[in-house]
Amino acid sequence: MIRTEKLTLDLTLTLPAIPDERDSCVRRLTELLEAKGLERVHLVREDGTARLCLHYDPERFTVTQVRELALAAGAPFSRRYCHENLRLDGMDCSTCADVVEHALGRMDGVLEASVSYATERLRLEYDAERTSSAAIVQRLRALGYAVIEEGREPGWWTKHRELILSLVAGALLLGGWLLGFTAAPTVLPLSLFIAAYATGGFFTFRDAWQSIRAGRFDIDTLMVVAAAGAAALGKWAEGALLLFLFGLGHALERIAMDRARKAIEALAELAPKTALVLRDGAEVEVRVEVLLRGDHVVVKPGQRIPADGVLVSGNSAVDQAPVTGESMPVDKQLGDVVYAGTVNGEGAIVIEVTRLARESTLAHMVDLVTEAQTQKSPTQRFTERFERAFVPAVLIGTTLLIAVPPLLGFPFSESFYRAMAALVAASPCALAIASPAAVLAGVARAARGGVLIKGGAPLESLGMITAIAFDKTGTITCGKPALTDAVACDGTEEELLRVAAAVENRSAHPLARAVVEAAYARGLRLPETSELESVTGQGLRATVEGKVVEIGNRRLFEPQALPENVERDLQRLEAEGKTTMVVRVGGRFLGVLALADTPRDNMEHILPALHRIGVRKTIMLTGDNERVGRAIGERVGLDEVRSELLPEDKVKAVNELLRRYRMVAMVGDGVNDAPALASATVGIAMGGAGTDVALETADVVLMADDLGRLPFAVALSRAARRVIRQNLWVSLGVVAILIPATLSGITGIGPAVLVHEGSTVMVVLNALRLLGFVEERR
């Protein structure tokens, strides 16, 4: 058998340019290194940092050779495979994303081009040996889009040009219409209508042309055909009205969507740009990007914390709401973890940086929320498939409406006009934006409340769940033992606890610490202890105030039988699933202490809140014994408890719940429960702040270690699903009503486009209501 050793290197040393460890360059590098003779190459995470783990045969390679091999292998990848995340200008409709993806995807050397209309972002990977950034930017410009430099905001004209042009078109249209009532030559109003075509339809013509060049037919194509048809019939006013209202609707839609985008961009602005670092005893202001692990940063009262780290000096209350959604500031002592973007309270503190700026919890949140917009929901995928089939069908139907009625004796001009009106009526603009707008607003609102929802699919699925399964330890319970009972059999509870804590204060066992904390919480002063003796598996003996004190389980006192009252209390407390300790001082039994992993403080509110918003079944899945599981379940009000489950048993339990309830969420810590989280319809991880594993493994992450955020997440998702359904009904309903109205001649092009664009703006505004979602509290 070959003896292997291993070496770990920061991934950023070998591949400094990649955006994250999921990039395809990581796969290329690992395959190359294994081909060069290393036994195994894979990724690990240590202290929140992605590292490359290299297993090698020490008889073939030295540590230095392995390091040089990895660095040398990674350098060509960094030079050849380039990654960019670009912000685009000119994304004025949802079909623009498809046009850009299709056009760039056909370029030689472009390996990935993923566009999010909601965030106006292009995620790009290309082979620098086959193309260049300049060539890609030039192709974008040819398509009518520009790249906005990071940190720069679009100018006033860029932001408002579509609205301005549409308003100019409206003014020209009004002028031409008014001239029609005067004795002015016909050419004057016609000139104004043509000018209205040019201004109101500028972006529509541009986008339609780009779509046609890409071999696609979209909503802009339908509008251009309808406007051209109206002009061919001499109905210039109606065509100008169509383009004016269509452009105005798009401008208003963009303004509304910008509001939702700003809600996400605000996350990135939470972290300060500079930090005060201690260097040679002096405070030096530096950019947060240059902070290194181990740097000591001074944070003054009221300032935002610039990096993830641990407290090494001072103490203060920190407002963690920007990251975790917690409503109250959290007291921080020496050694406690703090997060970038949170706000320091009234005390000056010094933190030691543990993560670089790009690795912070806040940076990870921003990346995940931004990336969530590219993950389409089932409804969004359905509407896109529907649109791809529907638009060509509308064009074919329009052609038939123009050609067939004249063959049956119907006037050509009338059939042509009605066909153009039907073309406008059938354009699914509202349908195209209905789901993306709701997903954008829902994900942004969730992030502001300390909940990460990774895209439209988890957002919709969470809104449909009927059952939730919970892990016990650290989820339903606090995850550490606490003193629940101090039953005095001879003397007082204070004497019992004071003596027991004096002995346990010399032990580091979790049960011992729980007893000591309970004594301090009651303000008890502990006497001195001497001659401490640990009896393995049984308990402790010590001398306190000149008397021998024994504390432990019943085996410590065998073969002597315990007094009847002590035995009775022991049996009662053990039946409740608690761990017990008997305390004896100088032959006198003082009483019994009971400890247990206690439920979270707010559990009595969380489960009823879940039931109120439509969750039919709550189930606990635990590896603990049946007695402990049942006791916790009954105490917090769970509907069902399944105990003594191994990790694989939890997966089977989740699958069985899926068969019974169809839509099931699983809540855990994201580490031990990863298989069960993956098996559920929606996996929900607790305490994602600072926990990369939780952020990576779950569909939904509660950033604070607070299950109280769960009802908010479920209620918001249900609200988002309602909004999506409302938007679909509005958009499809308008099409269903307008098509027969235009075909029958009841409605012309003008009213059709007015209703059509009104419905588009309506669904966007309806979606933006989610930004103001407030959880109902009772």
CA atoms within 13 A on the CB side of 293: 10
CA 432-433-439 angle, to 5 degrees, is 125
Cα gap 104→114, rounded to integer Å: 9
**Active-site option among 92, 220, 471, 706:** 471
Question: DSSP label at 475?
Answer: I
Measured over the CA atoms of residue 336, residue 342, residue 345 and residue 351, the dihedral's sign is positive
Cα gap 112→657, rounded to integer Å: 38
Cα gap 388→95, rounded to integer Å: 11
Q: Tokens 């010399």 belong to which residue?
A: 506
**Residue whose C-alpha is closest to residue 556's, from 510, 503, 598:** 503
User: How far apart, in Å, do the first and last CA atoms of the chain sit?
Assistant: 65
Cα gap 339→307, rounded to integer Å: 6
Cα gap 42→30, rounded to integer Å: 7
**Residue whose C-alpha is closest to residue 110's, from 101, 118, 120:** 101
Tell me which H or E stretch contains 444: helix 429-448
Q: Which two tokens stand for residue 37?
A: 């003779």
Q: Which two tokens stand for residue 560?
A: 């002597």
Is cis: bond before 559, omega within 30 of 0?
A: yes
Tell me which H or E stretch contains 7: strand 5-10
Burial of 444 (0-12, 13-18, 19+ CB in 10 A): buried
The strand pairing partners of 665, in sequence order, are 468, 682
**Residue whose C-alpha is closest to residue 365's, from 740, 776, 754, 694:** 694
Q: Are 444 and 771 in contact (CB under 8 A)?
A: yes
**Residue whose C-alpha is closest to residue 651's, from 669, 630, 672, 627:** 672
Cα gap 243→567, rounded to integer Å: 87
- Calculate the CA 411 to chain-centre distance: 57
| Sequence letter at residue 427 | S
| Sequence letter at residue 400 | L
Burial of 350 (0-12, 13-18, 19+ CB in 10 A): middle
Cα gap 210→221, rounded to integer Å: 10
**Residue whose C-alpha is closest to residue 117's, from 446, 448, 435:** 435
Cβ neighbours, 10 Å, residue 89: 17
**Residue whose C-alpha is closest to residue 763's, from 340, 480, 431:** 431
Is-catalytic flag, 597? no
Going by C-beta distance under 8 Å and a sequence separation of 6 or more, which residues neighbour residue 169? 195, 196, 197, 199, 200, 201, 240, 243, 244, 247
Tell me which H or E stretch contains 507: none
Active site residue ranges: 471
